[in-house]
Amino acid sequence: MSDAQDSSYTPALVTLKTNVRDRADELRAGLRSEDRVLEWLQEMTVRTLGRLDRRMYADMARQFRGQQGLLLGAMLRPSARRGPMRDLDEAVAKDVRERILVTHVQPAHRNAFRKLRNDVTEYVESADEGDTHDPRQQKHIGMRPGLTELDQLQQSVLAELLEGLDDKPAVIGWSSDVLDATHGELGAEWGKRVYQEGATVDVLTGDRPEHERSRRLFAATHLLPKFRAGVRVRIGRAGELPEKGAGNDTEQPDW
């Protein structure tokens, strides 16, 4: 991070850029597992303020049907590929990863930046205290605690799903957590359908390899798009909170 960014008067925008860049760098190197691909997409969803194109989620859902798809295989390190994707040329995989960044991540970051720029607080340095709001000191996504809270909720329900639920009664509590993690962006019958569909319960609670693969498909198809919808609603109400005290010239955000 440059010195100019260290002393930025709009650290929320710098923090947003750093959040996105860290995940972009991780993808560029290749992700460690199929589970990590889903986790990465969830994290990028929040850090682009829900601005990833819907097609990214539809494309990803197709990757988990049957054999590993090209997009999924390319996002992974060679050691994590399976089936025909084991023979995927690494130069091709690298090109696919870079196209994901250029086609999906960069436009989403641009749109997130434009969304956030209208709401950021400009922190004016106090001549007496010499206080600057160092972006490196900010622990919240875009300096918005509400987004960090939503991110943690989404990570939790995704991790529970990928690990597998204990039994059918656990599905009830998990569905309630999904409501929180999507900020209420679920259909009225979503939890009921998940609980009553025996095949779905078998997938959510099963311990066989095919159950694990089906849970990844469930996450890509039914969770991640709802996560995106929830983030887009939540960002409209997320207030900015700096981690360091502002100087006397700083106008506090109104939330």
- 182-195 pLDDT tens trace: 999 999 999 999 99
Which residue blocks in 64-141 are alpha helix, DSSP H? 70-75, 90-100, 106-117
Per-residue pLDDT for 61 more than 50?
yes
What are the pLDDT digits (tens) for 29-53?
999 999 999 999 999 999 999 999 9
Which band of pLDDT confidence, cut at 50, 70 and 90, is reported for residue 1?
A: very low
Which band of pLDDT confidence, cut at 50, 70 and 90, is reported for residue 120?
A: low
* pTM of the predicted structure, to 2 decimals: 0.84
Instruction: Give one word for 108, left, alpha or beta, with left for phi > 0 and alpha for psi -120 to 50.
Output: alpha
Q: How many CA atoms lie within 13 A of 236 on its CB side?
A: 5
Q: How would you class 112 by CB atoms within 10 Å of its CB: exposed for 0-12, middle for 13-18, buried for 19 or more?
A: buried
Structure tokens of 24? 């972009």
Which pLDDT belongs to residue 42? 98
**Domain boundaries, given as residue ranges, for the chain:** 3-237
Mean of pLDDT values over 142-171: 94
Per-residue pLDDT for 207 more than 50?
yes
Mean of pLDDT values over 145-169: 96
CA distances from 28 to 23, 86, 97, 101, 182 (A): 9, 18, 6, 8, 28
Structure tokens of 1? 């991070």
Which band of pLDDT confidence, cut at 50, 70 and 90, is reported for residue 71?
A: very high
- Of residues 14 and 82, the one with the higher pLDDT is 82
- The mean-pLDDT minimum among 14-18, 148-152, 158-162, 178-182 falls in 14-18
76: three-class secondary structure by DSSP: strand
Summary mean pLDDT of the chain = 85
